[in-house]
Amino acid sequence: MSEPLDPMMFSGCGPVPLHIRFGNKWTGKILACLKTGRRRFSELQVPLRGITPKVLAESLRGLERDGFIKRTTYPGVPLRVEYELTPLGFSLLEPMEAWCKWAEEHLPEVQNIHEEATARSAV
């Protein structure tokens, strides 16, 4: 039998004041689109096929609010807006690449486990 968990194991950890937006379906793709430089909204829509303008706008606002991207507005008619990664946003690229590599290596294993669990629950 293993040792019981220490009930105070997280006592030194304060509450995390923000949620990590990285789990969002589109966040990683948006960050990847911005890793080479500034992009306009319409440029982001091209590789992000399937994302609605509303969801893209909400995702960009959230990423800006969390400090991962910067939004720059230029005067004119129509107004021109560009998005770019902040240093904090750039800091996510390396762990994101590691996660993608892990997923590529282990996807077949995870899929098999998922299929087996689904088959067991159907019985």
Residue 11 belongs to a domain: no
**14 in a domain, yes or no?**
no
Give 77-98 pLDDT, tens digit per residue. 988 999 999 999 999 999 888 9
Q: Is 15 within a domain? A: no
**In angstroms, rounded to a whole number, what is the distance separating the alpha carbons of residues 110 and 19?**
26
The DSSP output letter for 84 is E
At residue 23, the pLDDT reads 59
For residues 13 and 6, the answer to whether their CB atoms sit within 8 Å is no
CATH of the domain at 28: 1.10.10.10
How confident is the model over 111-122, as pLDDT tens digits?
Answer: 999 999 999 888
In a domain, 62, yes or no: yes
pLDDT of the residue at 38: 93
Q: Which domain holds residue 41?
A: 21-122
> What is the structure's pLDDT at 94?
92
The structure's pTM equals 0.74
Residue 10 in domain: no
**Cβ(39)–Cβ(71) under 8 Å?**
no
The number of folded domains in the chain is 1
Q: Residue 64 falls within a domain, yes or no?
A: yes
Selection from 69, 72, 77, 81 nearest residue 24 by Cα: 69
* φ/ψ of residue 12, rounded to 5: -85, -5
38 within a domain of the structure (yes/no): yes
What does the pLDDT read at residue 81? 94
